[in-house]
Amino acid sequence: MAHTNSARKRIRQNEKRAERNKPFRTRAARTVRDARRAIAEGAPDAGELVRAAHSALDRAARRNIIHPNAASRRKSRLAQQLKAKQTAA
């Protein structure tokens, strides 16, 4: 447990920020999950879901919720999976 006033305030600030950032983190994770699932199933709208995932990841990165390099890496991997699935089909 925090003993100093500054440590108590930092805990309050962290809780507020976590609550504020949760929807962006969740949206990014869900759209990536849905895109991966669509790619694996070979759904015709997989490209649209990948674009939605890219957008959600960019929004999270813009707000520093996830690191910009992490967002870029996830976007790249999604694009690779989509391209591999399309060329195989």
**Residue-level pLDDT, tens digit, the chain, 89 residues:** 899 999 999 999 999 999 999 999 999 999 999 999 999 999 999 999 999 999 999 999 999 999 999 999 999 999 999 999 999 86
Task: State how far the alpha carbon of 15 is from the alpha carbons of 18, 67, 71, in Å.
Answer: 5, 19, 23
Buried b (16+ CB within 10 A) or exposed e, 23-41: ebeebbbebbebbbebbee
> From CA 67, how far away is CA 83, in angstroms rounded?
25
pLDDT at 89: 67
CATH code of the domain in which 42 resides: 1.20.58.110
Number of domains making up the chain: 1
Q: What is the pLDDT of residues 15-39, one digit of tens each?
A: 999 999 999 999 999 999 999 999 9
pLDDT at 25: 97
Report whether 35 contacts 46 (CB < 8 A): yes
Query: What is the domain extent for residue 57?
Result: 5-88
